[in-house]
């Protein structure tokens, strides 16, 4: 029997052909496909600049680095993948965790209480693909003169009040890991409308080198101005990205249909809380449910027995050993994130799920919940 994972890349013959073409060309890296992918991406988002990098984590690290924030604190959400907060630590910044609200995004009402003299920025995450409330968050940032960095690893294609994610805040990071809405294998993208940040990201991706600086001589000369990295994305990956980007809207529409089918199927089940959607636009990277009165780990196990790979997104960042040893979660209590992380379960959602896959998952969840309700009744 086939296994249905929680997420899966969609690679078709077009994707393969375009990658093979590049493999047969003169450029494996730093060739024409990089700029072509960046331009197509910026055009899709409607922003001015895009910088392709080797992963979503690299995109986050460079986005933060480009802002030159110095030392200090950055307000962020604990309900995310560890890479979000790690990107702050790489830049000698301290994450300050603010609790989530019913949308599972950072609660804008709780941000101001955590702002101190040391606060430099707010780093948001659009959990599962639903955008944060950027009207409120931008107001707070403006009032306190803070930058906003957006981790949009889940939210490619979503928007806020008609503005696409990637064009809303100071700087945005995307991921093209295979489970994300489009993939380049590994890969990421930074978007911004700020020319200075753009130029710094370009340099930081390539060792901090400015190729236009001819201080040392002629055409061959370059000057290293910042402590950069090698976070370049290859040309064949960019070719895959160009091909994938063309299909994003279709993929996201299918994701939305699947989410709707789950919503219809589970809306009358008291043991399941469905995602609370406050805004129409959602990229549906993940479909998460909250288990009420049944044990999440038991449901996970029952689904696994039925060949369904559910998953958990996320254990709060501060609960991981590394953060426990360096941060004191007691100083930054996030009771809602703690509660949600015990109940949350991610169900399979990817564009190539067939209707029979979806119906199979729905029946399996309904059956498992029934079994557990009987088994766990007091």
Active site positions, annotated? 180
CB of 186 to ligand PLP, least distance (A): 6
CB of 117 to ligand PLP, least distance (A): 28
Q: What is residue 96's three-state secondary structure?
A: strand
Q: Select 84 or 105, whichever has its Cβ closest to ligand PLP.
A: 84
Q: Select 182 or 365, whichever has its Cβ closest to ligand PLP.
A: 182
Q: How many residues are recorded in the chain?
A: 378
Alpha-carbon dihedral of residues 326, 332, 337, 338, nearest 10 degrees?
70
CB of 84 to ligand PLP, least distance (A): 5
CB of 251 to ligand PLP, least distance (A): 17
Q: Select 168 or 365, whichever has its Cβ closest to ligand PLP.
A: 168
CB of 284 to ligand PLP, least distance (A): 14
Q: Select 80 or 368, whichever has its Cβ closest to ligand PLP.
A: 80
Do residues 69 and 94 lie in contact, with contact meaning Cβ atoms separated by under 8 Å? no
Write out the residues near ligand PLP by the rule CB under 6 A: 55-57, 80-81, 83-84, 125, 151, 153-154, 175, 177, 188
User: Which residue in the block uniquely carries the two structure tokens 């409120």?
Assistant: 136
Please identify the residue of the shown chain whose CB is closest to the bound ligand PLP: 56
Structure tokens at 228: 């950069």
Structure tokens at 352: 């190539």
Q: Which spans in the chain are helix H? A: 13-23, 32-45, 56-66, 82-90, 134-144, 195-205, 235-245, 248-266, 296-305, 321-326, 335-343, 355-375
Q: Select 124 or 368, whichever has its Cβ closest to ligand PLP.
A: 124
Do residues 366 and 269 lie in contact, with contact meaning Cβ atoms separated by under 8 Å? yes
Report the distance separating Cα 132 and Cα 199, nearest Å: 27
């Amino acid at each position: 029997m086939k296994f249905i994972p929680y997420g899966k890349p969609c690679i078709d013959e077009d994707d393969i052909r375009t990658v093979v073409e590049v493999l047969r060309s003169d450029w494996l890296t730093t060739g024409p496909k990089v700029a072509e992918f960046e331009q197509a991406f910026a055009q899709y988002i409607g922003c001015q600049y895009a910088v392709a990098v080797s992963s979503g984590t690299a995109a986050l690290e460079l986005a933060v680095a480009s802002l030159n924030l110095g030392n200090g604190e950055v307000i962020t959400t604990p309900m995310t993948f560890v890479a979000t907060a790690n990107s702050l630590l790489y830049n000698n910044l301290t994450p300050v965790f603010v609790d989530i609200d019913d949308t599972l995004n950072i609660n804008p009402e709780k941000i101001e209480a955590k702002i101190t003299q040391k606060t430099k920025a707010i780093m948001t995450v659009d959990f599962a693909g639903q955008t944060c409330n950027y009207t409120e968050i931008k107001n707070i940032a403006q009032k306190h003169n803070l930058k906003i960095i957006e981790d949009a690893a889940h939210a490619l294609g979503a928007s806020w009040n008609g503005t696409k994610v990637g064009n809303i805040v100071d700087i945005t990071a995307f991921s093209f890991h295979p489970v994300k809405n489009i993939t380049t294998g590994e890969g990421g993208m930074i978007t911004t409308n700020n020319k200075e940040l753009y130029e710094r990201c370009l340099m930081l991706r390539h060792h901090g080198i400015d190729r236009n600086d001819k201080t040392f001589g002629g055409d061959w000369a370059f000057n290293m101005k910042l402590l950069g990295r090698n976070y370049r994305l290859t040309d064949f990956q960019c070719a895959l990205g160009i091909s994938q980007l063309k299909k994003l809207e279709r993929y996201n529409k299918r994701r939305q249909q699947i989410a709707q089918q789950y919503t219809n199927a589970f809306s009358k089940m008291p043991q399941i809380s469905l995602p609370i959607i406050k805004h129409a636009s959602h990229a549906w990277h993940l479909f998460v449910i909250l288990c009420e009165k049944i044990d999440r780990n038991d449901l996970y196990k029952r689904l696994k027995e039925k060949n369904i790979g559910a998953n958990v997104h996320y254990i709060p960042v501060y609960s991981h050993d590394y953060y426990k040893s360096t941060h004191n979660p007691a100083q930054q209590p996030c009771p809602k994130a703690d509660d949600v992380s015990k109940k949350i379960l991610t169900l399979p959602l990817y564009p190539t799920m067939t209707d029979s896959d979806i119906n199979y998952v729905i029946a399996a969840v309904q059956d498992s919940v029934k079994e557990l309700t009987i088994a766990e009744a007091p």
